Amino acid sequence: MKKTLTYLIGLVFFSAAAFFGAKTYTDNMHGKPNLVSGKSLYDTNCSICHGTRGLGDGVAASSLAVSPDNIYEEIINPLGFKYELINSVLEGDNGQEGSMPAFNTILTEKDVNDILEYIRDTNQPTQKHDLS
C-alpha cells in the first residue's frame, strides 16, 4: 500500500511538472512582446468588442448576441495555454456561436501574442506600463 501511494504521489508530481513545463514553454515561445505594436493592433482590431482593457465591455458588446470574452481572465488562467487563445483569435468562433471573426488573414501568431501581452500589461494595477 505504501509503495502504491508513493508511485501515485510521484505520478501526480511528474504530471504537474510536465504540464507546467509545457505551459511555460508554449506561453513564451514567441519571444519578447512588442507592447506598442500590441496596443496598436488591439485598438484597431479588438477594442470595439472587448473594450479598452480586454474585459469584454467594448462599445459593440451590448449589441452582440454572445458577450465577448474577458480576455484578461483568459490570459491569467493558470490552467490555460496561450496558444489556445492565439488560435481562437486567428480561427475565430471559440464557442461564440460564430460571432467572433477569424483574424488569420490580418494578424500573425506574433501579432496576437503582442496583443495578449499588451492586455496583460495594461491590467497590471501596480506596474508601470512599458510601451517601449
Helices 2-27/82-91 angle, 10° precision: 50
As to burial, measured by CB atoms within 10 angstroms (0-12 exposed, 13-18 middle, 19+ buried), residue 23 is middle
96 vs 63, more confident? 63
State the number of CA atoms in the 13 A half-sphere of 132 facing the CB: 2
pLDDT in tens, 14-33: 777 777 777 677 777 788 99
Report the range out of 62-71, 109-118, 120-129 with the highest average pLDDT: 109-118
pLDDT in tens, 74-83: 999 988 889 8
CB distance 114 to 41 below 8 Å: yes
What is the C-alpha to C-alpha distance for residues 16 and 79, in angstroms, rounded to an integer? 11
Domain ranges of the chain: 33-122
CATH homologous superfamily of 33-122 equals Cytochrome c-like domain (1.10.760.10)
| pLDDT at res. 97 | 66
| pLDDT at res. 79 | 86
State the number of CA atoms in the 13 A half-sphere of 107 facing the CB: 26
| pLDDT at res. 124 | 87
Against a cut of 0.85, is the pTM above it?
A: no
What is the C-alpha to C-alpha distance for residues 31 and 113, in angstroms, rounded to an integer? 9
pLDDT in tens, 39-90: 999 999 999 999 999 999 999 999 988 889 999 999 999 888 898 899 999 9
What is the C-alpha to C-alpha distance for residues 117 and 35, in angstroms, rounded to an integer? 7
